[in-house]
Structure 1
Amino acid sequence: MYQLFTDTDTDITPEIAKKYGFKLISMPYSLEDGVDVYPYEDFQVFDYKTYYDTLRSGVIPKTFALSPQKYVEYFEPTLKEGKDILYVHFSKAMSGTFNSMNLAWQELQEKYPERKLYAIDTKGVSVCCYNIAMEIAQMAKNGASAEEIVAWSEKEVDKFAVYFYADDLKFFGRSGRVSGLAATMGGILGIRPIINVNAEGIMGSVAKAKGRRSTQKALLQFVETLQEDIKAHRVVIGHADALDLALDLESQLKETFGQDLNTEILVVNPTIGGHCGPNTVGVSFYAKHR
């Protein structure tokens, strides 16, 4: 018997976690006051408008890895119940937090040698992780074993693509995803990079567009080109306080693929949102490849 876990970098809220049977691990950040904030532990509802307005004022959040002790605190109660852990997490290539997870698990294995940890690396962030987590939740509901879910993920994770952009490149620039010069010139010229997360779980710029309309169109073109059997899976749109843009993208997707396209719109979580900044819009979909 296993218990599903995921983390807040997947855009899963406590309400969604409860509905689909996940226990939620909080990925922290801090603002200019230096106070560590753990989403859905230090607050129950993400006030995303206030958060992204704070970023618009010039504040750049900082993110940091969980300690091994925090992982022990999350995992041990489940192990005490005699359950294994199946943890659907954001890309391990983007954070040192999974070194902490491994250290914690080494400690826990000494106390619970009969228990297992199944770590599913989504090789993504935000809506990409959410998309994969929802597929896994359905498999678990249908009675799939942990081993069956691991086997599925090894074949299918790389087929859940995500493409996104942001208005202000300084956030990408500060996180090392776009050079400082490119971020400055992008802001001046209105050029926005289209970012994806590749099969190694690393973010990179794959195209660029000038102006919002062209950038929205570029996202749609990536979906059109790469999608595979798109109506058999959900299409998840994420936004960082840019609901109007998310709705516009949803409308374009339904005009292209049909009004019965299964879409969801989510708010990008604060930890990932701190790296991409306000007005980010992205889309995750089932694809031929990433």
Structure 2
Amino acid sequence: MATKCNIMTDSCCDFSAEEVEEAGIAWIPYTYTEAGKEDGLSGYDDLFQSRSAHEFYAAIKGGACPMTSQPSQIAYEQAFERVLATGVPTVHFCLSSGISGSYNGAVTALDRVREKHGGTLPTPIYVVDCLIGSTTQNLFIHRAVQKRDEGLTAEELVAWAEDARFHVHTIFMVDNLDALHRGGRIPKSVAVVGGMLDVKPLLTFRLDGSLAVMGVARGRRKAMRKMRDFYEALHLPTCEENAVAIGDADCAGDGDSLRASLLAGDGDLKVYRSTIGPTIGCHVGPDMLSCCFWGEDRRTPGFDDSKSKGKASK
């Protein structure tokens, strides 16, 4: 049965090239470049097709400091024209506007495409701000594909997405906060937390899609236990699907260890394993580990992950 809508997203979804093809979704790449260096770490975020994750993160460990760029207006317009040519309504899911300007860029580009078609598109295209990114976006897009395959129209998929994005819970660990501060994702006053000896910051997404430090842990092992505790406190297997997404930035052993720990408590749990892509990787650095899952509505009055604050603190 033919689907009633197309799905498009950006390379921050942390799908592999094989996964996007199997899921039948269109995607648009970010780019990254190391300014002032002819032989610097630069390229398209092509889902690690031209450069392996290990090669990318090894370069950063070696001192590379690449910065990222969202898709250009021309790239967005060309992508929208391609999905228009299919004659099938399309929903484009963007990386959080709280950490990137890509959502506004996509909306502007879509307005330009609409103008080229006389003010009305022959087939609808919708742009949705996910208010999440990376591993969380991976979990979200996997579910969106399932909803598409269940027969949802584009309008129904948009309505689902604008509610479901607030049921995704995120906790991720970074080695330090320097890269996030350098990229403007967090203020300097917050970045000093990462300078403490062997302290691993734990972060999450706010409702507006920006990042927040929710706690710290002494060392990676304790941080991973905090991540498991966070999952156990807030995961609702009856919300959307009994699934968790675990992503890593060239620390697959830690990701696999967390996966085994969660499966030990629930053998029916579906686990999506992903690698943190270059775009997010430029800002979080090597050894990031993330855990994302479905749970209670984060818009609930008074709900700010308070149920787990004690478990995600130092």
State the TM-score, normalizing by the size of structure 2: 0.85
Q: CA deviation at 1:156?
A: 1.4
Deviates more, 1:231-240 or 1:205-214: 231-240
3-state SS, counterpart of residue 200 of structure 2: strand
3-state SS, counterpart of residue 236 of structure 1: strand
Query: 2:246 aligned with 1:237, yes or no?
Result: yes
| Cα deviation code 1:130-171 (max 9, x no counterpart) | 111111101111211111111211221110111101123322
- Give 2:22's match in structure 1, choosing from 19, 23, 40: 19
Contact 1:177 1:204 in 2 (8 A): no
Structure 1: 4+ residue segments shifted above 6 A: none
Query: 2:58 aligned with 1:77, yes or no?
Result: no
Q: CA deviation at 1:83?
A: 2.9
Deviates more, 1:46-55 or 1:91-100: 91-100
Structure 2 gap ranges (5+): 299-314
The structure richer in helix per residue is 1
Letter in 2 for 1:23: A
d(CA) in 2 for partners of 1:181, 1:135:
36
Q: CA deviation at 1:24?
A: 1.1
Count of residue pairs brought into register by the alignment: 288
Query: 2:138 aligned with 1:138, yes or no?
Result: no
What is the aligned-residue identity percentage?
26
3-state SS, counterpart of residue 155 of structure 1: helix
| 1:104 corresponding residue in structure 2 | 109
Pair 1:80–1:111, CA change in 2 (3 A) = farther
Q: CA deviation at 1:188?
A: 4.6
3-state SS, counterpart of residue 107 of structure 2: helix
Structure 1 gap ranges (5+): none
d(CA) in 1 for partners of 2:224, 2:185:
20
| 1:278 corresponding residue in structure 2 | 286
Which structure 2 residues correspond to residues 147-158 of structure 1 after superposition, within 5 A?
Answer: 147-158=155-166
| 1:40 corresponding residue in structure 2 | 46
Pair 1:45–1:235, CA change in 2 (3 A) = farther
Letter in 1 for 2:173: Y
3-state SS, counterpart of residue 176 of structure 2: coil
Contact 1:161 1:289 in 2 (8 A): no
d(CA) in 1 for partners of 2:197, 2:184:
20
Pair 1:74–1:210, CA change in 2 (3 A) = same
d(CA) in 2 for partners of 1:7, 1:46:
18
d(CA) in 1 for partners of 2:163, 2:78:
31
| 2:308 corresponding residue in structure 1 | none
